[in-house]
Structure 1
Amino acid sequence: MPDYGLLSLLPPVLTVILAIWTRNILISLSLGVFVGSMILTSYNPFLATLDMIESRIFVQISVPSNIQIIFTMMAIGGFIKLLEVSGGAKAFARGITRFISNGVRAQFSTWVSGLLIFFTDSGNALIIGPLFRPIFAELKICREKLAYILDSTASPVCILMPFIGWGAYIMGLIEQAYGDAGLTEPALNVLLNVLPYQFYAIFTLAAVPFIIISGRDFGPMAKAQQKFQALEPVDNGQEEAAQASGDLQSTPLSLFIIPLGLLLGTIAVLLSYFALQDDLSSIHVRSTMTIAYVAAAVASAYLMHRFQQVSFDDSLGNFVKGAERMVFVVIILILAWSLSSVIKDLGTAQTLSALVGEDVSPAFLPAIVFVLGAVISIATGSSWGTFAILMTLAIPVAVAIGAPLYLTIGAVLSGGLFGDHTSPISDTTVLSSVGADCPHIDHVSTQFYYALLVGTVAFMTFIAAGVLGSMLVGVAGLAVLFAAIQIISRRFGYRAVIG
């Protein structure tokens, strides 16, 4: 294979720069693949176009495992759409609000609802937000705080769930990168081993109850809370609450509980069966997810037909609409796989590892990857796009220089998530503002200091984990985060909610 040297770095570097500049991940990945094909075909644009289409995109689409991932993503999208249309998730969240009597319970209930409605990051805020808005208004808790809790239980919850769309997408990237690096460990095993190292997601989920327990807010959030409590009560939210209750009182909880129970039960049974057969391969994981989501979708369609007189034709149409939502994600996946193929043929990982190996200790690679992922994700507003770019680079480099592999993958996911959580152009950030009915810039500015604190602790934890090589570092990181929140809250905080 020809030695392309530093030229092999051009496609991934160009992809990163274009992603930051254009904020369009599809254009960035496409041009990255095309430039790589140009190099491989001696700068012949005609041959480069053929190489990109025939040897990259078409080949990646025809790989059996990739087709399976695409089909699984479609099934997941279809089920989520049916669950949203049925109103079952909203009815479930509404049931939780009945137990709220004070501000602390209101915040904890919002947090718990976000944890339980884990199947969709985009729908999470739009399901939970309108239900809790009137409650927060009545208890004089600012909507910026509601938006923060919604945002902190959207993507951070989804990224920890292997058996939803996030998991399927990430496993697809891992499987491709592992294959290119000559590794054979099943993607599910990898993702499960990476879970303890997803420090930003874990710390973000923990920060919410830590802040609630402190009873105080700090930074711009404290100012927003002071301003909100000083306002004269114009609408205590009773009318909005009554309308929401009236809309949902005829929706049985079974529309949520039965499909979700069937989904989780099917996954548990099939994975147990394959585990007993000692054959928990990636194809069996994907078939398990597909069967489970299709079964849950059928159950949801039947329940809507029985309780809401929704025809099966309408349910099928909604299922297809949900599957169509995944087209954008599928295109990102195909282009990411294509870029990975180009990078492999150019020998980019070997060149990069030679450069990194001279100046960077393997122990510090995860922390560097975390920062790089955060920068890309903040600029692009896309955690998934960041994963697609960095997974193809970080895994082979980590293998080449002997960096802790699971920790490095955790850094890719954490960096992308941190940027997504703080970027004003992130879709989940925007939807959290919409769900809380909060001015978007107010949500971004008030959340930033909380996210920055969590991100700083996560960065320090990646350094410590790389040096010490122990999962217990994550526990220490949680302790540091709790202490930091308590100290900052006591010294600079404003006691907003008592009770």
Structure 2
Amino acid sequence: MFVSEWMTILPPLLAVIVVLWKKEVILALLVAIFCSELLLILSSQGLQPALTEFSIASVERVIGVFGSPDNTRILTFSMLVGALLGFMRYSGGVTATVEFLIKKGISGTARRARMLPFLTGITIFIESNLSVLMSGIISRGLFDKFNMSRARLAYIIDSTSAPICILILMNGWGAYVLGLVSSYELEQSAVSTLIQTIPLNFYALITIAIVLYTIIADKTHGPMKEAEANPKKALETTDIEIEASKPRFMLIPLFTMSVSMVGFMFWTGNGSFTDGSGSRSVLYATALAALVAYVMMIISGRFTHKKMTEISFKGMNELLPLVVIVLFSLALGASLKELGTGKFIAGIVAGNIPLFLIPALIFVAGGLMSFSTGTSWGTFALLIPIGMPLVIELGLPAPLILSAILGGGIFGDHCSPISDTTAVSAVASGCDLLEHVKTQLPYALTAGGLTVVFYIVAGLVM
């Protein structure tokens, strides 16, 4: 049976409809996976085999996620983070750190408390999920203390981490994009092209500017204003309730994680930071940090091995929904790639259009693809092979086109309810996932709209 190209957008479209209708992300991902696998079988075998095989194919697609070592490391890392969060929380280290910061005046005001996760996100530019987790862990208690909503915290850490990672580029993000671009013969080297995208990545720059505005001016708009007016729901489960011990029970494991992450990047890259494996490094760093936290708590004499085991499983259990979302997101991304959803969307944009509009339309295409698939990295992998040949064939400025691809991927990621980064931000801040999406969306759309205007102007000038 012939499956037309337009039908390839049905799976992500169904996912969005189910999320808006049932408010259930895991169900939406499952429906999208089943739909995508059904279309794949219809296109190759016909109707009768499809009705009997697409369920089995969907299960195999999910199992196939574990066939990639990187995917397995991401899922294992997500579970280990739960244990690490549990160790730091039940040790009293999180509460003690919050009290210390307030006592020393570092975060003695609401504005300073809002600035802390922003500055943490800028400092920890090595890996976006690590940045989000550290910012969220450090700031959750402070936001509760000053009666600010967890939704606001989720917005600050989510809208700081990925833009910073894609601007600084001395991390796994830069290495990944460099690998994708290096295979094309551009006028300048891939490294030079990548560096030149920094001032042209309008979405990342505008997003960071908007985050700073909300922090300094203390202004909230739309659904975020409603969340700020009634933050009681987020305050029901607060880290402040646990008795304070010493800040070192939180700070030493976090320091271990951030420093060892750099070391593991050099180690996995055989001495080269940019050649290092982000998935391996973040897993090893998290495992080491969890081990350090475990040893510290055992040595303190307040915890037994049995109690530590209970705490670790409690922490993992709290993150289990996130792990399932990440698992299904990876499976859906693989299925959509085989189905050709991304290529179809990109093909629509890259049709017969004026040259000066191409950067803006590629940005929009990247946003749609990232929103539909929930992965900015997957969007990079799909759009760079389309954008770079356009650069070569049409003589377009490579840094401008590449920056539009990178910015579009992050834009869609910020808007998508099925993004793993969105899910990690919600978990790290203790905010409901759909509340985070709803409150962040107006800010992301504003930044996205301004970015389109900037790319049209840049297209005319360049």
Partner residue of 1:113 out of 105, 114, 117: 117
1:343 equivalent among 340, 358, 379: 340
Q: Which runs of 5+ in 2 are unaligned?
A: 20-27, 125-129, 186-190
| 1:411-465 per-position Cα deviation (integer Å, ceiling 9, x unaligned) | 33332244259x9xx86898899769xxx79x967x7765554333333334455
Residue equivalent to 2:23: none
Residue in structure 2 matched with residue 38 of structure 1 by the alignment: 42
CA spacing shift, 1:258–1:427, aligned 2, 3 Å:
closer
Code of the residue aligned with 1:18 in structure 2: it is L
Amino acid at match of 2:313: G
Aligned twin of 1:491? none
The structure whose Rg is larger is 1
2:94·2:141 contact (CA, 8 Å) conserved in 1? no
Contact between 1:69 and 1:172, CA under 8 Å: does it hold in 2? no
Q: 1:207 aligns with which of 202, 206, 210?
A: 210
1:385 matches 2:380: no
CA, structure 1 residues 418+71, in 2 after alignment: closer, same or farther (shift >3 Å)? Answer: closer
- The within-5 A match list for 1:227-376 is 247-250=242-245, 252-273=246-267, 275=269, 277=271, 281=275, 284-307=277-300, 308-311=302-305, 312-314=308-310, 316-318=312-314, 320-321=316-317, 324=320, 325-343=322-340, 349=343, 355-361=348-354, 364-371=357-364
Equivalent-residue separation in structure 2 for 1:218 and 1:309 (angstroms): 42
> Residue 95 of structure 1 aligns with which residue?
100
* Whole-Å separation in 1 of the counterparts to 2:175 and 2:33: 16
Amino acid at match of 2:332: L
Change in CA separation of 1:43 and 1:448 when aligned onto 2, cut-off 3 Å: closer
Among 111, 128, 153, the alignment partner of 2:156 is: 153
Q: Cα deviations across residues 458-486 of structure 1 (Å, max 9, x unaligned)?
A: 333344555667xxxxxxxxxxxxxxxxx
The question of whether the paired residues in 2 share the 8 Å contact of 1:90 and 1:128 is answered with: no
With over 3 angstroms needed to count, the CA separation of the structure-2 counterparts of 1:223 and 1:341, relative to structure 1, is closer
Whether contact under 8 Å (1:15, 1:28) holds in the other structure is yes
Contact 1:60 1:334 in 2 (8 A): yes
Stretch moving more, 44-53 or 400-409? 44-53
Cα 1:305/1:67, change in 2 over 3 Å: same
Distance 2:224 2:39 in 1: 49
Counterpart Cα distance in 2 of 1:148 and 1:55: 34
Distance 1:367 1:57, change over 3 A: same
Q: Residues of 1 paired with 2:225 and 2:424: CA distance? A: 24
Q: Pick from 432, 440, 449 the counterpart of residue 456 of structure 1.
A: 449
Q: In structure 2, do the counterparts of structure 1 residues 93 and 366 end up closer, same or farther at CA, with 3 Å as the change threshold?
A: farther
**Cα displacement (A) at 1:301:** 1.5
Q: Tell me the alpha carbon deviations over residues 391-413 of structure 1, each in whole angstroms, 9 at most, x when there is no partner.
A: 56534432453475632432333
Cα distance change of structure 1 residues 121 and 305 upon mapping to structure 2, 3 Å threshold: same
CA contact (8 A) 2:350 2:362 kept: no
Alignment of 1:27-106 (within 5 A): 27-46=31-50, 49=53, 53=57, 57=61, 60-61=64-65, 63=67, 66-87=68-89, 88-100=93-105, 105-106=109-110
Question: 1-side partners of 2:98 and 2:373: how far apart?
Answer: 27
Q: 1:387 to 1:398 in 2, by over 3 A?
A: same
Name the structure, 1 or 2, with higher relative contact order (CA <8 Å, separation 6+): 1
Judge conservation of contact 1:418–1:451 (CA < 8 Å) in 2: yes
Matches within 5 A, 1:184-203: 199-203=202-206
Q: TM-score of the superposition, structure 1-length normalised?
A: 0.62
Q: Structure 1's 125 and 58: CA in aligned 2 closer, same or farther, altered over 3 A? A: closer
> Structure 1: which 5+ runs fail to align?
137-142, 229-236, 470-499
How many residues are matched?
Answer: 414
Is the 8 Å Cα contact of residues 391 and 409 (structure 1) preserved in structure 2? yes
What does the per-residue CA deviation read over 1:325-371, in whole Å, with 9 as the maximum and x for residues that have no partner?
Answer: 42320221022113212329xxx73x666654432356644533544
2-structure distance, mates of 1:72, 1:222: 30
Give the counterpart letter for 1:135 in structure 2. Answer: F
Using the size of structure 2 for normalisation, the TM-score is: 0.66
Asked whether 1:8 is paired with 2:5, we answer yes
C-alpha displacement of 1:254 = 1.6
Q: Deviations over 1:298-323 (max 9, x none)?
A: 11211222334152433553565477
CA distance in 1, matches of 2:223, 2:35: 41
